[in-house]
Structure 1
Amino acid sequence: MNKWLKRSVIAIVAVVALGAAALALGSYLGDRKAQRHVEVSVAAVEVPADAASLERGRYLFSSRGCAECHGANGGGREFINDGKSMVVKSPNISNGPGSVVVNYSAVDWVRTIRHGVKPNGRPVFIMPSEDYNRLTDADVGALIAYAKQLPRANGSGLQAKVPALVKTLYAAGVIQDAAEKIDHRLPSAAPVPASVSREHGAYVANMCIGCHGEHLSGGKVPGGPPDWPPAANLTPGEGSAMPRYANAEQFVAMLRSGKRPDGSVIDKAMPFESLGALNDVDAQALYLHLKSLPAVKAGNR
């Protein structure tokens, strides 16, 4: 073996070894970050028991992503599996065997839903609490009330297989958990009358933040599986998806069917199980709000 080839092989082996060591260290630091303590001040909310509030809670559970991740019965389900190295099964949040919430107080529920922090102070893994942080007190209370009366289902705690690269990016802050993204000092959101209005649409649009970003301009979804496509730009800016929808009817039809007006199928990364459960008022109000947004270039989250 000539000297040039020998040196090249040594250099390649060294780079691979350094890369493996960096990933090992990053994976360790990511695990350690997930064990950190997050101190938040949690305000209690009233947990109602009347039929109307329970129905509101059922609607929110179905349309805001809770059922999409935890299953309609709350028992937990596999909601990420890239067929390679990343698999995530959500925890059981019913009152059945293996439940992680069986000893939750009302404040524990609020801390988890609104702040993305477990009762022990550790951050919740993956759960998009930034989407729920701006729910009104009444809606948080209704959601808790419904979840607390779910029938008993068998399940377990979180089961997650996460690649070392994802953990490394998490440790470096490239990927953040919800507890990092949320401004925990914000007061509770003021109630907005449910109507086909931009104001109510802005309230509904909070459910889109986790994937489409704070400014709803989309881009690569942080922490999502590698094969997920970039989230669409929902503002009128460069690369916007909204010109596809000439009116609210076309937009609502897309939410119901998972298909664009031209018949093309949208990637299943979009949570159509939840979006399809939006009622007409919420869906049409969401359209009005998105059409009124200031233009932001695609990918600026």
Structure 2
Amino acid sequence: MHIGARLGLGVATLVVLGVGGLVGASEWVLRRSHAVPLTPIAVPHDAAALAEGSRLATLTGCKSCHGDGRGAVWTPVDWREGQVAPPPIARSAARYSDAELARLIRQGVTKEGRTLFIMPAWSMTYLADDDVGRIIAWIRSLKPAPDDVQASTWFGPVGRWKILTGKTRPSLVADPHGVAKRPADPGRYLTQVLCSECHALTEPRAHDGKPVPPLAPMAASYAPAEFRRLLHDGVGAGGRDVGFMGTIVKENLHALRPDEVEAVQRYLREMLPE
């Protein structure tokens, strides 16, 4: 065999072995079972609780990520990264008990004990028991629809490499941080549930390669009316474009009530380093 052909065959063999190892190792991570116990959850059935559960599903991104509950395919789809396809909620939830749904929401663990990826359980873990119950009440009110998007999430070679190296964070939270009831003064609570996925309190962060400002000094720099506009309309002080934050507000955070916005800003100002 010509030396060039031998080299080509050797390279091809190494590539096949490398891809096989990548797939095998990442599949182990994806399919690994985690022993996360179930905790009973009380689910209300009154109209007020269902309405609040719907609002919470907006705030926490359930609706925007899952195509208003009917499933979605995030774009762009890239063979190297893969496809993210949050399932239609009613169809997926039908095979879960209430306790399993609570674990899925707050700890990122499926019925089979596998960790999810992408779903931000690391911030949802701060949800109080009563709010989780309200979200589940909303989930149980949904019905499968003929136009549900029933695509599947899959990971390409780069996506699998990110899972193996930890760049794509698993949703698994071993111990939930939620309390029994939503606090009467919800500033800290809402900050943890809605903001901690991207922001730190006093230190800058990077999210998806982009700088993310610390919350406390940012909130302190806003007048109350400007802060309300930021969290209701997605517009920064002086009409400044706030980038991806504007999308999050328009899809999710616009559902905050004025008193909740005030409580969040009050808490963040208290957290400002002296």
Identify whether the pair has TM-score above 0.5, normalized to the shorter chain.
Answer: yes
What SS class does the counterpart of residue 68 from structure 1 fall into? Answer: helix
1:68 corresponds to which residue? 64
2:223 corresponds to which residue? 247
What SS class does the counterpart of residue 135 from structure 2 fall into? Answer: helix
Q: Which amino acid aligns with 2:126?
A: R
Name the CA distance, whole Å, in 2 between partners of 1:158 and 1:216: 40
What SS class does the counterpart of residue 220 from structure 1 fall into? Answer: strand
Percent pairwise identity? 25
Q: 1:14-93 alignment to 2 at 5 Å?
A: 25-72=21-68, 74-81=69-76, 85-86=80-81, 87-93=83-89
1:168 corresponds to which residue? 161
Shift of 1:147: 0.9
More helix by proportion, 1 or 2?
2
1:204-247 CA distances to partner (integer Å, 9 max, x unpaired)?
A: 0122222225x5745233xx4xxx623332233xxxx445x432
One of 197, 200, 207 as aligned partner of 1:210 = 197
* Cα contact 1:208–1:216 (8 A) shared by 2: no
Pair 212,246 (structure 1): closer, same or farther in 2 beyond 3 Å? closer
Name the CA distance, whole Å, in 2 between partners of 1:254 and 1:204: 16
* Cα contact 1:211–1:218 (8 A) shared by 2: no
1:9-43 CA distances to partner (integer Å, 9 max, x unpaired)?
A: x9xx98x9989976764454223201110111121
Pair 18,287 (structure 1): closer, same or farther in 2 beyond 3 Å? farther
RMSD over aligned CA atoms reads: 3.0
1:292 corresponds to which residue? 270
* Cα contact 2:79–2:156 (8 A) shared by 1: no
What SS class does the counterpart of residue 29 from structure 2 fall into? Answer: helix
Q: 1:1-301 alignment to 2 at 5 Å?
A: 25-72=21-68, 74-81=69-76, 85-86=80-81, 87-94=83-90, 99-153=91-145, 154-157=147-150, 159-179=152-172, 182-184=173-175, 186=176, 188-195=178-185, 200-206=186-192, 207-212=194-199, 217-221=203-207, 224=208, 229-236=210-217, 241-242=218-219, 245-268=221-244, 270-272=247-249, 273-295=251-273
Pair 113,281 (structure 1): closer, same or farther in 2 beyond 3 Å? same
Question: Which TM-score applies when normalising by structure 1?
Answer: 0.75
Moved more, 139-148 or 127-136: 127-136
1:154-176 CA distances to partner (integer Å, 9 max, x unpaired)?
A: 32556335442332232123432
Question: Which TM-score applies when normalising by structure 2?
Answer: 0.81
Pair 51,36 (structure 1): closer, same or farther in 2 beyond 3 Å? same
Name the CA distance, whole Å, in 2 between partners of 1:19 and 1:234: 45
Q: Which amino acid aligns with 1:90?
A: P
Pair 23,52 (structure 1): closer, same or farther in 2 beyond 3 Å? same
Name the CA distance, whole Å, in 1 between partners of 2:171 and 2:177: 17
1:251-291 CA distances to partner (integer Å, 9 max, x unpaired)?
A: 12012222211222222365121011211122221122222
1:107-132 CA distances to partner (integer Å, 9 max, x unpaired)?
A: 11111111100111111221111222
Shift of 1:92: 0.6
Q: Which runs of 5+ in 1 are unaligned?
A: 1-9, 296-301
What SS class does the counterpart of residue 286 from structure 1 fall into? Answer: helix
* Cα contact 2:130–2:180 (8 A) shared by 1: no
Name the CA distance, whole Å, in 2 between partners of 1:267 and 1:188: 30
* Cα contact 2:93–2:139 (8 A) shared by 1: no
1:180-215 CA distances to partner (integer Å, 9 max, x unpaired)?
A: xx241x5641434444xxxx11100122222225x5
Pair 267,159 (structure 1): closer, same or farther in 2 beyond 3 Å? farther
Pair 80,38 (structure 1): closer, same or farther in 2 beyond 3 Å? farther
Count of residue pairs brought into register by the alignment: 260
Pair 183,58 (structure 1): closer, same or farther in 2 beyond 3 Å? same
Q: Which runs of 5+ in 2 are unaligned?
A: 1-6
Name the CA distance, whole Å, in 1 between partners of 2:211 and 2:27: 26
Pair 161,188 (structure 1): closer, same or farther in 2 beyond 3 Å? closer
